[in-house]
Structure 1
Amino acid sequence: MKVSILLLLVCTAILAVGARADAPDKTDEMVKKVQEYVKQAAEAVKTAFTTVNESEAAQQARRWLSDNTDLVKQQLARLREQLVGLWKVTPTA
């Protein structure tokens, strides 16, 4: 869930609770309801992230990144060796 969607939900909850408050002395009730809505939204986001993190696709992506990181490191080391060799061969003025 994107942060902008979460922010939109929180703002909507605040407006909804504010519209339901009939009198100014019910601000404590409004604050408690907003806190409850925010807590529920945070739990929903946490559950969604946990589900995505534990998914097979996420595990495959982590394995792919791990495998390709080693390959990229090897290629960078090879490129560095070539540049060092080129640096030594380049005549100085």
Structure 2
Amino acid sequence: METRARPPANPLDRLSARDFLLLREPDGIGTLVLAGYQLALVLFTLGIVLAAVGIEAPVDSSHGLWAAALNLLLLCVGIRLAERTARRIRSRRDRS
């Protein structure tokens, strides 16, 4: 009996750079767009909180795109570290 490789369930697994540039994979592009919306919402909320508290953004630049990109990078690194920390705490709790 021959087994066939199933297509990846995640649309981003099927999305190549060429398909993205040629807009050929609507599911993958839609996933990227939704991720962008979510990140924009997080940044907007974070901006409101920082403005209310009176704290400046961690990165400032003369060009808005550079500042947004660097702040987004720091936010993503922070989210990733928080996720790894939570996973480590859960795995220790499950072992006990």
TM range (shorter): 0.3 to 0.5
Structure having greater relative contact order (Cα 8 Å, sep ≥ 6): 1
Q: Give the number of the structure whose residues are more often helix, by fraction.
A: 1
Q: Which has the larger radius of gyration?
A: 1
Q: TM-score w.r.t. structure 2 length?
A: 0.37
Q: Scaled by the length of structure 1, what TM-score is found?
A: 0.38
